Amino acid sequence: MAVLVLGRPSVRAGGGVLRPARRMARVLLGMMALRPNRRLPVEWIIDGLWPDHPPASAAANVRSHVAALRRLLPSAAGPGIETLEDGYALVTGRTGVDALWFEHLVREGRHRRGSGEDVDAARLLAEALRLWRGDLMEGVSVPAALQSRAIVLDDLRMCATEELVDVRLALGHQHHLVPVLKGLVVEHPLRERLWHQLLLALVATGRRSEALDAYRQLSLVLDVELGVRPSPATAELLDPIRHTGADG
């Protein structure tokens, strides 16, 4: 059993995925999963659920939502919600929340990469990224108090993606990575590292004209959006092409 927040807030139990029926309960599930094993004061929960005008029944509503979530988490072996002094806590191990497990897998993947175990590093990073089923807490708003946590997870997702590409490039998967990277630079046009990786893959597979076109696209995007040029490290990737011509 696991609480899922790397996508729509829900609970995986057995072979199925259960979602709280009420939107506020889904928000509360996400709040607890993003701050597991910590006491969340009722007032803090109320501020997250109703940031502007909490109803007079807010505390009672929180109790009702907690009760609904407990019905989704009946297993003693999985995550559970404990009542603490003036608050609640989602008590779980790292496999009980997908966000925690994601962070663990990324750490393990980085460790394996640092040890030169590229095949295992690629496997772990890919497994970590597969945990994302959509945007964080998709379908509901991330409360203001958890925005910094959301930024950390989103950034780690992007960094893990780039690191996985680096490992697969090192393993010689350039042909497979070209279409993947072409899609990624469309989604994230200001991530120069992705463009750098695309150029590496294009040059390595002999697609020199495409590499020059990609560099021109990057230069235009960075100039228009940020008023800067590509880094020297990226520009240097094209030196062999410039010296020999696009057609080699």
| CATH number for the domain that contains residue 232 | 1.25.40.10
**Residue 165 resides in a domain:** no
Work out the average pLDDT over 67-90.
88
- Separation CA 111–CA 89 (nearest Å): 31
Confidence band of 75 (pLDDT split at 50, 70, 90): low
| Pair 127, 72 in one domain | yes
Does residue 135 sit in the same domain as residue 59? yes
Residue with more model confidence, 218 or 247: 218
Is 13 contained in some domain? yes
Q: What are phi and psi of 39, to 5 degrees?
A: -70, 125
* Whether the predicted pLDDT of 248 surpasses 70: no
What CATH number does the domain containing 120 carry?
1.10.10.10
Examine the domain organization and report whether 121 and 185 are in the same domain.
Answer: no
The confidence band for 199, taking pLDDT boundaries of 50, 70 and 90, is: very high
Which of 137, 160, 183 lies at the terminal end of a domain, its last residue?
Answer: 160
In this predicted structure, the answer to whether residue 74 has a pLDDT above a threshold of 80 is no
Tell me: pLDDT of 124 over 90: yes
Q: How far apart are CA 181 and CA 83, in angstroms?
A: 47
Q: How confident is the model at residue 239 (pLDDT cuts 50, 70, 90)?
A: confident
Domain check: are 8 and 131 in the same one?
A: yes
The rounded radius of gyration (Å) of the Cα atoms in the chain is: 23
Which band of pLDDT confidence, cut at 50, 70 and 90, is reported for residue 6?
A: very high
| Residue 29 belongs to a domain | yes
Are 2 and 100 in the same domain? yes
Residue 97 has pLDDT above 90, yes or no: yes
On whether both 65 and 33 belong to a single domain, the answer is: yes
The structural domain count of the chain equals 2
Which of 131, 160, 189 marks a domain boundary? 160
**Domain endpoint, select from 119, 140, 160:** 160
| Shared domain check, 97 and 180 | no
Q: Is 241's pLDDT higher than 90? A: no
- Average confidence (pLDDT) over 224-244: 88
Range of the domain at 9: 1-160
Check whether residue 180 and residue 229 sit in a common domain. Answer: yes
Residue 197 has pLDDT above 90, yes or no: yes
pLDDT score of 224 more than 60: yes
**Is 167 inside a domain boundary?**
no
Q: Are residues 177 and 96 in the same domain?
A: no
User: Do 140 and 181 fall into the same domain?
Assistant: no
State residue 174's pLDDT score.
97
Three-class DSSP category at 2: strand
Name the pLDDT band for 102 (thresholds 50, 70, 90): very high
56 and 123 part of one domain: yes
Asked whether residue 128 is domain-assigned, the answer is yes
Residue 24 DSSP one-character state: H
One domain for residues 232 and 150: no
Tokens of 221: 């995007």
Domain assignment present for 40: yes
- Distance separating alpha carbons of residues 91 and 76, to the nearest angstrom: 11
Q: What is the mean pLDDT of residues 36-60?
A: 97
Task: Say if residue 242's pLDDT is above 80.
Answer: no
Is it the case that residue 77 has pLDDT exceeding 70? no
Burial (Cβ within 10 Å: 0-12, 13-18, ≥19) of residue 89: middle
